[in-house]
Structure 1
Amino acid sequence: MTRKRWQKQWSFMLAAAFAVSLAACSGGGGGGSSSTSTTTTSTTSTTVNGSAATATATVSGTGTTGATTVTGISTAEKISVVGSSTTTGKPEVKGLKMISSLLGLTVTLPSTWTSSVDYYKDPQFVYTHERGDETLNTPNEILCQISQLKADKMVNRGAYRAQVDKNKCSSSKDSKSNAGSANSGQQQGSTNAPDYENWTVLSNRADDTSPHVVAAWVHTTMGGPQGEQPAVIYAKATMSESPSTTNPYGMFTMSFKAYPETNGVADTTKELMHGLLRTVKLTSNNNVVLQFFNAQTESKGGQSFSFNFATAVTRAADGSTGSATSSFPEFDKVCSQTGCDFSSLTNTVWNMAYNSTLYARVPVVSGTADSTKLVCMDKANKVKAAWRYGLYKSDGSRKTLNSGFPIRYVDTSNASHEGFVGYWGLWINDGTSVPNGATVKKQSWSGTTAAEEEYLYKKTKGRLIKHTNKKTTLDKIKNVKLSYWDQTASQSKELKWDGTHFTITGVQGTSGITQVAANTYLDVSALSWSSTLFMWSQSLGGTVIIELPVSGTTVSGTTITSSNGCVKSGGWNSTTSIWTNETFNCTAALTAPALARVTYLKEDIIMPDGKLADGTAVTVPTLTCYENCPKGSQFASGTTGSVFYPRDFNLQDGVTAYTYTWDSANYVLKDGSSEIDLSKGSAAASNTALTGDWGPLTWGLNTGVLFNNNSTNQALMKCPWDTTQICAWQAQQVLSEFYTWQTGPEDWNVLTALLGPKATTPTVAVPFDQPIDVNFSYPTEATGVNPAAVDTKYTGVPFRLQYGGFGDLWGIPGHCVDGETGSDIDCWTNGGKWVRYIPEFTIPDGVTVTDEASTPNTYYVKALEVEESMIGLSQSACSSLSLTTLTLPAETDYTAPDIGTEPTVTDAPAVIGGVVQRTL
């Protein structure tokens, strides 16, 4: 397993198991196609403890089993062992004030909003999370992806296609591995980009009293004898009751199975896995039980083995009590970064129970509960963490982004290939490579009619990014998480400005971030060469430059002369004619943080038509580079060796800098006649010594600062102590704007664009929206913001977040907690404890953020998915709870989905990422 792959997924086995969730059940979305399928009739009968839920329904490809006015049945979007999920819409409104449903903060909402605006209509899911919920990861991924199909909106409309974004439903968002990625922008494109899979769906219901039947065929990849391989999953869901207050699971039965796929054809003689997800009623007390079962056989590394998951969850109708049992394979005990030994793979069993105030979990060994490992939690003491947010405009409607649309490509052999193109690149469902300059067809809907329009596909060799300088002061970023490379210690440090010191919270070691002792501060008493600190912060959008003023000099950006700033030592001694290295004692400068200027950067991508996404035209000048300047000849040849020129800052040696030109016609940066090209298929990208796991360009190339070397900028770049020299490290703080070039073999390293429409404007780039930067200031009304005391330290602190579209708001700092107790914990050296990485605070509902447009727009924030985590108690506190073993579903409960042949659908996807594309 490569390093990149290891960082993207914990183990191939969990990925294979979770592949079930990509299609295990279905709900559907869209019709309007001329398609056929085999019509079958099935009877589902499930009995548990004497109770049976029986349904007979027809799966049909014609869409004529009922009228389109029939109401669809939905399923839960998320379930929890610890009580039910809750959904809220319109918050409590008092006059013009709204009491935030999350944080107890009083905010003002527009009085003109009616109950029909999106802000009030969009549901807010609140659920309790506990380690026992990890056994529900796959069922929850299934339910999340079902919600993207919008089956209840697409009843009796024939077969249709839906593109489901797997990343939206990932169960690994709280992995501690995200603690490291939060400190680097290199991998952001790979984690934020959508990851679509194609579903073919039928959603039928004869009338409002009949079961709602959904069939789905999903083309995915799964583990098998040859490792990851194409597969198709067949799934059928029969639903008779939507979730309600007394039954948050609903009533349904889903079954699924998977086969390997070759050239689009399933090999039904070689099953890869099968399973079920269902709800049943107990005759003893009429309570509903949710059950999940999944069996799989794998071959890996010469080892053949089988494993299964089984879970049962139940609760009283009023939600006051509940219990669960789960059996699951423990891959973490047999897998490491070097490989897996599956001969020792065994299942662990947990029993769980709760009442109105307590929750307990205990492992079961050989049928007996191990009370020494019982975990007891306080249900009344919870910490909130929101995972998804929506932004809303001044009229209460959603803020949406035009991030892409589905396309169809016809190759030279007249074969048709479908996919999606947008800001993050091009995705083709069968992996076909689309050549640069090819014609692709945008698929869309005009009312209920599918339409296509031709565009020219432009896949560039990188991204040219324009950076614009933004300013604030040190006192305004109190407690914002920062990363700093300490050259003296040759070590990366995690720290924050606490109002008095740069407090170090952790240091980077060989195995991750290690916590340090309390009251450990960054030593600023002997800074080398400069009083400027270069840092990085996810919350401020990347690079952060902090200028600590020097005594007797003018404070940057002001007319104030610093009287108590950094004290410089060393330099040129005119008496002895000896130069000594300059150092700066900046201890005193920390006492006046309002005089320390902070620079951060706004980024805009130059489009192939020479414009920014907002339509602003940009003329790129001849560009100058002083450090991290790529060597064109090295990229052209692709040979192993230094890919950068040596630094050259001396203005008097005949070489002032390295010069590059921008080839706008071919959208590439050039060094002379050589292109700086590391895109897929280039000579440099093909050399694994450069782009392999441990090569210098593993994550692609980002150049140093590229700027217009006019007299004004050159003057700004000169060293303060010697105007014959250039101090290139000043560029990001002194230049009002500059450029960088990014290139690499991944789709997120390059710019993908469409030009057109081909018939009318074939040279104009389609302006896909990039994530927008929004500014958020933590509320000054701290009371009730969150039970976690850690949050109050952010009062009044500004954050620069990124909004990637509805549900996606990035940049909130996180921290690691002990999954058993909820207390803060070191992310890496934790003694084998269960570690979760969660948001450090939750943005209150109704709080506003502003974007960075020339005339800033204001948006209202609402959390869409909120997790509540409990605080640990002593084992004795849960002595009143009874932890019994529930009957788990087994192989004998499984019935194969009888859905027949997959319909042929040629229309554009009717649902993409949970958004219906056609008018119903």
Structure 2
Amino acid sequence: MKIKYLAVAIPLAFTGTAFAAPNSGAYVDDPQHEWVQDKLAENIGMPNMIMCFVSALRADAMVNQGPYVALVDMDKCDSSKRGQDTSSSTNVGATTATNYTSVVVNSTRASNDDPMIAHAWFVPNDDGGTAQRIFARAVVTASPSAANPNGQFSVSFCGVPADQANPLSGSCSMFLGSMSADASVLTFSENGMGDHDGSPQPYTTRLTFMKSGTGGSGHIAATGQGPTPVDAGFVYDSQHFKRGQANPGKCFSRNRAQANYSTWRYGVYEADGSRLDLAHPGFPIQATYNGQTYWGGASFWGVFLPGDLLDQVTQVTRVEPGSNTAGTVYDLTKAGGKLYKMTKVDGLMGDLKGQSLMVFLPSNVIAGDTTGNQYELSWDGTQLVAVRKQNGCDQNGCSWTDLAKDANGNALAPTYVTASGLRTSAPFMKALQGFSQSAGGEVRIEVPVSGEFADATPVTTRSRDVVVPGSATPNLVCTERCPKGGLSAGDFTGNTVYQNITFIDWNGTPTTGSSEFVFGPVPVANVISYTFAADGLLMSGAAAVDASTLSLSGNHQYGLQSGRLIDANSASLAAARCSRADEFSPYEQSDTGNMICPWLVDNVPEYYTYETGPNPWNRYVGLTSGGVPVTFDPPMNFVLTVSTDNTTEAAGSPLIGSKVQLNYNGFGDLQGIPGTCVDTTTNQPVTCGTGGDNGQRWVPAFSIKDGTELVNGSSTYYVKYLEREMRFAKVPDSACSTLDLSTPLATALPGAPTDDPRAAMGAEPTVTNAPKVIHGVVQ
């Protein structure tokens, strides 16, 4: 028996999905989950998360097999994180790292005539605040069906502080909730203690949903979850959905053909319908600390263990999925930073059509910008359009100014970045150097010496490999964004994280200043030198470049990244050297030149970059056995040429014809699709970062259609969605004139929750076997 996400309580007009080959195997058998995402669902985040957990635990596949461990990717179940705008992040690790929570599960069923009972005990990995220990109990009497999409079930859940001495005693001090559903009624009730502006604040949520034939209605009330209480209703018939706190409300169409979809998980399959598995994607690990066993995993992206356990242990043990026998014991190699080797890959501007590109533009490139700023650019096939400008970043993310619309939503004249304009206002910029998540990371666009940007303008991206600490690594030199050794918190608050360097400004004058933004040549005698120590840290002289113990926010919330570091004795350094005949001549490449030109550094065959910070992806954590590092397969890469045949993107979209690099990290984890933002009140597109608090969500710009072929080398694979949301299309409010909100707003709400599941569940069982399920995939 399975439970879908609570959000399916907001109904669809009709169901059914058709997809192409293969016609057998897991491609056909793997279930697909779809739910309606609506603003009302923002007030039921906790139950949606728990329902996602229940789905990912696969209790239905583990009935009467005893307690087991399941690993659940928390970020895939937290809608608030799933909807964050990550386009402004210039760190691949920030958008690809998993966040597994270890869950102990016990699923039982006395007979085929009895309900399935699933118990789950877990402590979610969290970014801050008081750690929670959660008890969840689900009693499932009937599975979901076409007539009853929620099935028949009840769920109760309780949260207590994770460090509570006896978690089975006392009240559910962090939260207590319950939910039940049958064919016609769904109710939900939760009381809890949250946080508002750093102070504890109680909150409540109540929901009643009633279904009758092709229509239905609901009432939701919430307190303590925002500046004002919520008391709203919704009502629908076979054609429309209406919500609001009073008439006339907001009106939406229930026609699936008019709706928009965002897919959050995909499956990739072989031609015979079996799941595509990487040869060496990683494996589960276990660690023991203070007499307790903890579960995690190791893969190309690093080593995962719950909480700060990585800082506490020095060894982990490999356990083969499905085996109860402990395997190889590995030593943990840890460092406060991570070095990458970046290798050049050639491409064209047309490959980036419609994709987001984050670029710093110096002063006067954009009219009225006298200081220079970070911009989001996008190539539309004929022009490089400036979409938005970054105003600043803090612990809550980054804010932006929309360059396409004014504050009232009126269209503005497009802002273009032209090659001729760059040659005039920033003659030292021979290339635009930026970041594109959908292009795989760093992107360099050559500025033509004449004419304008075109589809055929040369573009380079970079493949990247992690450099293992202790491996033979050359001495490195830096000319821009050269981080300081001995970093302190004051360096970040005072914006002094980069060393000073002497460079030639565009007037030809030697200038000494921060290496954060260097566009002119740097004398070879003034480059900043580094070594890569055996312990995995970049060294500036005797001082390590290490921010792993510091709390970072604002522009550095995703970690500190260096500029390009070049092997001091390589052909790449020679390729970056330049000189000029006299003060009136331009700098030209010269293997023996006395300068390093930044625009040549951008284009060398290979260079290195370094990152450090408190986030897991900022630090190197690897496994060794007998001193030999363990290697894992990198993600499998696919290039998707966007079309109306293989995606939901509409004809005429600027993304049509663009080439998107997709990274496959293992089943259910296909990443690289560019993003966009939608207004949570109207479900309509909006420029990211320009809305008010909680006024917008980041979503993938398109969904890949079921049956789409992906090619890697000589092999062809097939895609289908596993989990996706649907957003109703906004229509004129007059279309809902026959729907009345007064009735649902008068519907009785459930009382305060009273069903504490702990007595029925008891203490968390001790499980020593390897994880049996990893986010919905039975091992």
Offset of 1:147 from its aligned partner?
Answer: 1.2
Structure 1 partner of 2:518: none
The one of 188, 208, 217 aligned to 1:323: 217
Contact 2:709 2:717 in 1 (8 A): yes
Instruction: Give the match for residue 408 of structure 1.
Output: 286
Which one of 269, 281, 285 corresponds to residue 392 of structure 1? 269
Shift of 1:158: 1.9
* Cα distance, 1:137 vs structure 2: 3.3
Bigger-Rg structure (1/2): 1
- What CA distance in whole angstroms lies between the structure 2 residues aligned with 1:444 and 1:213? 28
Distance 1:197 1:230 in 2: 12
Which segment is superposed worse, 870-879 or 262-271? 262-271
Give the corresponding residue for 2:45: 137
Which of 457, 468, 471 is residue 346 of structure 2 equivalent to? Answer: 471
TM-score by length of 1: 0.71
Tell which deviates more after alignment, 501-510 or 392-401.
392-401
2:617 to 730, 748, 752: 748
The counterpart of 1:800, out of the listed 654, 661, 669, is 661
Instruction: Please name the residue that 1:809 is paired with.
Output: 670
- The residue aligned with 2:769 is 907
830-839 or 534-543, larger mean C-alpha shift: 830-839
Paired residue for 1:709?
568
How much does 1:167 deviate? 1.0
C-alpha deviation, 1:597, in angstroms? 0.9
CA distance in 2, matches of 1:831, 1:709: 48
For 2:776 and 2:276, the matched residues in 1 are separated by 16
| Greater mean deviation of Cα atoms: 149-158 or 619-628 | 619-628
Q: Distance in 2 between matches of 1:124 and 1:740?
A: 40
CA contact (8 A) 1:626 1:647 kept: no
Q: Percent identity?
A: 30
Equivalent residue letter for 2:2: S
The 2-side partners of 1:541 and 1:636 are apart by 31
- CA–CA distance in 2 between the matches of 1:768 and 1:882? 58
Contact 1:378–1:872 (8 Å) recurs in 2: no
Deviation at 1:644, TM superposition (A): 2.1
Aligned to 1:528: 427
Question: 2:366 is matched with which residue?
Answer: none
Whether the aligned pair in 2 keeps the contact of 1:378 and 1:873 (CA below 8 Å) is: no
**Residue among 228, 231, 234 paired with 1:349:** 231
Q: What is residue 206 of structure 2 aligned with on the other side?
A: 310
Which residue among 531, 538, 543 is the counterpart of 2:442?
543
When structure 1 is superposed on structure 2, of 631-640 and 140-149 the one drifting more is 631-640
Q: Distance in 1 between matches of 2:459 and 2:524?
A: 35
Question: Quick one: distance in 2 between partners of 1:446 and 1:783?
Answer: 40
Q: Per-residue CA shift, 1:866-913, capped at 9, x if unaligned?
A: 333222222222123344224322127746552233323333333232
- C-alpha RMSD of the superposition: 3.5
Contact 2:168-2:763 within 8 A present in 1 as well: no
1:625 partner amino acid: C
| 2:154–2:179 CA contact under 8 A, matched in 1 | yes
Determine if contact 2:523/2:596 at 8 Å carries over to the other structure: no
Q: Deviations over 1:400-420 (max 9, x none)?
A: 355544433345xx6334131
8 A Cα contact 2:524 2:596, kept in partner? no
Pairs within 5 Å for 1:50-129: 73-77=1-5, 79-84=7-12, 91-92=18-19, 98=20, 109=21, 113-116=22-25, 118-129=26-37
Distance (Å, rounded) in 1 between the aligned partners of 2:664 and 2:293:
31
> 1:277, CA displacement in angstroms?
1.3
Q: Is the 8 A contact 2:429 2:599 kept in 1?
A: no
Match of 1:498 in 2: 380
Q: Which amino acid aligns with 2:3?
A: T
The residue type equivalent to 1:276 in the other structure is S
Is this contact kept in 2: 1:256–1:896, CA < 8 A?
A: yes
Aligned pair count reads: 720
Q: What is the CA–CA distance in structure 2 between the aligned matches of 1:844 and 1:705, rounded to whole Å?
A: 38
* Residue segments in structure 1 that go unaligned for 5+ positions in a row: 1-72, 93-97, 99-108, 281-286, 334-344, 364-369, 551-565, 567-587, 611-618, 686-690, 757-761
Does the 8 Å contact 1:310/1:327 carry over to 2?
A: yes
The structural deviation recorded for 1:328 is: 1.7
* From 838, 854, 871, the counterpart of 2:699: 838
Alignment of 1:584-595 (within 5 A): 588-590=451-453, 593-594=455-456
Asked whether the 8 Å contact 1:636–1:674 carries over to 2, the reply is no
Matching residue of 1:660: 530
- Secondary structure in 2 matching 1:262: coil
Q: Distance in 1 between matches of 2:385 and 2:321?
A: 55
Aligned residue type for 1:539: S
**CA offset at residue 312 of structure 1?**
2.0
**CA-to-aligned-CA distance 1:306-352 (integer Å, 9 cap, x gap):** 331111223346xx22222211226332xxxxxxxxxxx63x22221
Counterpart of 2:677, as a letter, is C
Structure 2 unmatched ranges of 5 or more: 364-368, 393-398, 405-411, 505-509, 511-520, 580-585
1:170 equivalent in alignment to 2:78: yes
SS at match of 2:329: strand
Q: Give the Cα–Cα distance (whole angstroms) in 2 for the partners of residues 830 and 219 of structure 1.
A: 33
Q: Who is 2:501 aligned against?
A: 646
2:87 equivalent among 157, 175, 182: 182
| One-letter code aligned to 2:158 | K
Q: Which moved more, 1:76-85 or 1:486-495?
A: 76-85
How many angstroms does 1:658 deviate by? 3.6
| Structure-to-structure mapping, 1:769-918, within 5 angstroms | 769-779=633-643, 782=644, 786=648, 788=650, 791=653, 793-830=654-691, 834-851=695-712, 855=713, 858-883=716-741, 884-885=743-744, 886-891=747-752, 894=755, 896-897=757-758, 898-917=760-779
1:201 aligns with 2:60: no
- TM-score under structure 2 normalisation? 0.83
Q: How far does the alpha carbon of each residue in 1:648-702 deviate from its partner, in whole angstroms, 9 at most, with x for none?
A: 6899978263443344x4333334454433334xxxx4xxxxx5546x9664332
After the TM superposition, which residues 398-797 of structure 1 pair with which residues of structure 2 at under 5 Å, given as runs? Answer: 398-401=275-278, 403-410=281-288, 415-423=291-299, 424-429=301-306, 431-432=308-309, 434=311, 438-447=314-323, 449-488=324-363, 489=369, 490-510=372-392, 511-516=399-404, 517-523=412-418, 524-525=420-421, 526=424, 527-550=426-449, 566=450, 588-590=451-453, 593-594=455-456, 596-608=457-469, 610=471, 620-632=473-485, 643-647=498-502, 655=525, 657-663=527-533, 665-680=534-549, 685=550, 692-693=552-553, 699-710=558-569, 712-719=571-578, 721-722=586-587, 723=590, 724-756=593-625, 762-779=626-643, 782=644, 786=648, 788=650, 791=653, 793-797=654-658
- Please name the residue that 1:585 is paired with: none
Residue 257 (structure 1) aligned with residue 158 (structure 2): yes
Counterpart code for 2:596: C
Report SS of the residue matched to 1:266. coil
Deviation at 1:376, TM superposition (A): 4.4
